[in-house]
Amino acid sequence: MANNEAAKSPAPRRPTSEQLRKELARLEKKRGMPTALRVILFLLVVLLIGAVTFFCLLSGYVIYGNSMSPTLEEKDLVLAIPNAKLSSGDLVAFRHDERILIKRVVGTPGDQIEVTDDGHVRLNGSDFYEPYALFSNSGANDMSYPLDIPEHSWFVLGDNRGSSVDSRSSILGLIDDEQMLGKVFIRVWPLTRFQVFDNNFFPQLVDSLLPG
């Protein structure tokens, strides 16, 4: 009797191709969700580490006074890259007598510079184009010209020539490498005056982190 009943039991039905497709899709989705979450979490961690590293490596400075007007105004907040390569026209932060000042590099090591009584610059025998500068009057200027800038030294000027004590004055004089704190590349505050001063700052940031 038992043999007859077993013989009459229907054979198991094979799943259709559509059922197989749906099951495979379900399993793939089940396996894929944790992977997607891991990828998202990984990217978030990378972004967080990158942001923390970025802002830890940069230095922030608040502007006081009007020696850099109209480029920088009172209470502007700027960021600087330490150890960046410098050239004529760059904004820089440096230390002088326990104060941090921000000026613009005009003369670099090996240059010859002259500053006229009205504040205009001749660099290596040619007029130096400075569309950012205000020339209301000459400002403090007691250096002897032409001045040959030695190695590891920098000649810096404020953009507002009439209100800036800078390398034209023996009070400040030339700035050496040890005084340099970084190259100012961006103003982040106020937001209405947000400005990037150097569009090449990301490669320079990477270069500043490389040894040597």
Does 2.10.109.10 match the CATH number of domain 60-209? Answer: yes
Q: What is the pLDDT of residues 115-171, one digit of tens each?
A: 988 888 999 999 999 999 888 777 788 899 999 999 999 999 999 988 899 999 999
Q: What is the pLDDT of residues 175-209, one digit of tens each?
A: 999 999 999 988 988 989 988 887 665 555 555 55
Structure tokens at 106: 């005009």
Q: What is the pLDDT of residues 67-104, one digit of tens each?
A: 999 999 999 999 998 888 899 999 999 999 889 999 99
Question: What does the mean pLDDT of the chain come to?
Answer: 80
Structure tokens at 153: 């030294």
Task: Tally DSSP H helices, then E strands, for the chain.
Answer: 3, 12
Cα separation, 172 vs 174, whole angstroms: 7
Cα separation, 162 vs 139, whole angstroms: 4
Averaged pLDDT for residues 35-58: 66
CA dist 122 to 78, 111, 196, Å? 29, 10, 27
Long-range contacts of 6-13 (CB under 8 A, 24+ apart): none
Would you state the pLDDT for residue 2? Answer: 44
Q: What percent of the chain has pLDDT over 70?
A: 69
Asked whether 159 and 71 are in contact (CB, 8 A), the reply is yes
21 pLDDT band, cuts 50/70/90, is low
Structure tokens at 35: 């992977």
Cα separation, 78 vs 92, whole angstroms: 10
What is the number of other CB atoms lying within 10 angstroms of the CB of residue 59? 16
- Taking the domains of the chain in order of start, what are their residue ranges? 17-57, 60-209
pTM, two decimals, is 0.70
Please determine, for residue 1, whether its predicted confidence score (pLDDT) is greater than 90: no
